[in-house]
Every structure is written in C-alpha cells, then in structure tokens.
C-alpha cells in the first residue's frame, strides 16, 4: 500500500542521513524498518509487568506552550513510582530528562505512554530490569 506522510524537514533530513549511512536502497525501505522497530518496541512495552526498576529518558523543547507544567503535573501524580529525576539543558531550547522509576511495570509503562504522547516531547525511551532475588 502507498501512504502519504507529512514530516518536519529537519526530521526527514536526519532520517535520510541515517538511511544513506546505513546503505538502504530507498527511503521506503528505511521507513518500513522504522515501523517494524516501532511495533517491536510497542510489543516489548506490553510485556512490562510485575516489579521493575527502570529509567525513562526523554527530550523535549521547553518552549512548547504548557509542556513544562504538564510534565510536572504528571510527574507529581506518580510520586510513588518516581524515585528521582535528572534534568540536563541540552541547548537554548531543548532539555533532556532522566526519570528513575521503581514499582509495578504496568504503572511505569502507563507513565511512559503519557509522557510520550505529550506535544513537544520528541523522544522517549524506557528501559527496565527485573530485580534479582
Ligand atoms: Ni532544561
């Protein structure tokens, strides 16, 4: 099937840079791979349950209207899950945040998905480990 997608120019430029470095024969092949990776990540996320330690990393543009307040509101809702937050200013506009979490995996995943869906949040990644007995 053919689909049409609109993307910000800088995102497309970065994507094209990566697919040319990696030797993809076409942009379509790179996009198919990216979609497969997205689906794999979502499937892996669905398996996050039970007690976990983890880290959610995200980048965002702090000029996005209302975003800093929304992030703070959500983080305060998850006081029992969030152990610590590290904030790094990347440049004039962008911030990196590392949120250390401990608790029920389902809740950690729910927090990650809420952060991911916020407008202005550009990248999120969740990693978790199962505590060894
Ligand atoms: Ni910052």
Is 102 annotated in a binding site? The answer is no
Is 63 annotated in a binding site? The answer is no
pLDDT at 40: 83
Cβ proximity of 48 and 101 under 8 Å: no
Q: Tell me the CA–centroid distance for residue 123 and ligand 1, in Å.
A: 15
Q: Tell me the CA–centroid distance for residue 124 and ligand 1, in Å.
A: 16
Q: Tell me the CA–centroid distance for residue 92 and ligand 1, in Å.
A: 8
The lowest-confidence range among 42-46, 62-66, 107-111 is: 42-46
pTM: 0.72
pLDDT in tens, 5-25: 999 999 999 999 999 999 998
d(CA 87, CA 80): 19
Say whether pLDDT at 133 is over 70: no
Average of per-residue pLDDT values in the chain: 92
Task: Give backbone dihedrals phi and psi of 23, rounded to 5 degrees, phi first.
Answer: 80, 30
| Token code pair at residue 3 | 């689909």
Q: Tell me the CA–centroid distance for residue 10 and ligand 1, in Å.
A: 21
pLDDT in tens, 20-33: 999 998 999 999 99
Is 123 annotated in a binding site? The answer is no
Q: Tell me the CA–centroid distance for residue 61 and ligand 1, in Å.
A: 8
Q: Tell me the CA–centroid distance for residue 78 and ligand 1, in Å.
A: 21
Is 76 annotated in a binding site? The answer is yes
Cβ proximity of 72 and 118 under 8 Å: no
Q: Tell me the CA–centroid distance for residue 98 and ligand 1, in Å.
A: 12
């Amino acid at each position: 099937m053919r689909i049409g997608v609109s993307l910000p120019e800088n995102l497309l430029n970065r994507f094209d840079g990566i697919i040319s470095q990696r030797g993809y024969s076409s942009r379509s092949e790179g996009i198919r791979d990216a979609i497969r990776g997205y689906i794999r990540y979502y499937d892996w996320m669905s398996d996050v349950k039970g007690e976990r330690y983890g880290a959610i990393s995200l980048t965002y543009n702090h000029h996005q209207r209302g975003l800093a307040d929304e992030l703070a509101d959500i983080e305060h809702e998850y006081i029992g899950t969030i152990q610590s937050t590290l904030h790094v200013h990347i440049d004039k506009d962008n911030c990196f945040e590392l949120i250390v979490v401990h608790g029920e995996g389902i809740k950690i995943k729910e927090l990650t998905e809420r952060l991911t869906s916020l407008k202005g949040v550009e990248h999120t990644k969740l990693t978790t480990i199962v505590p060894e007995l």
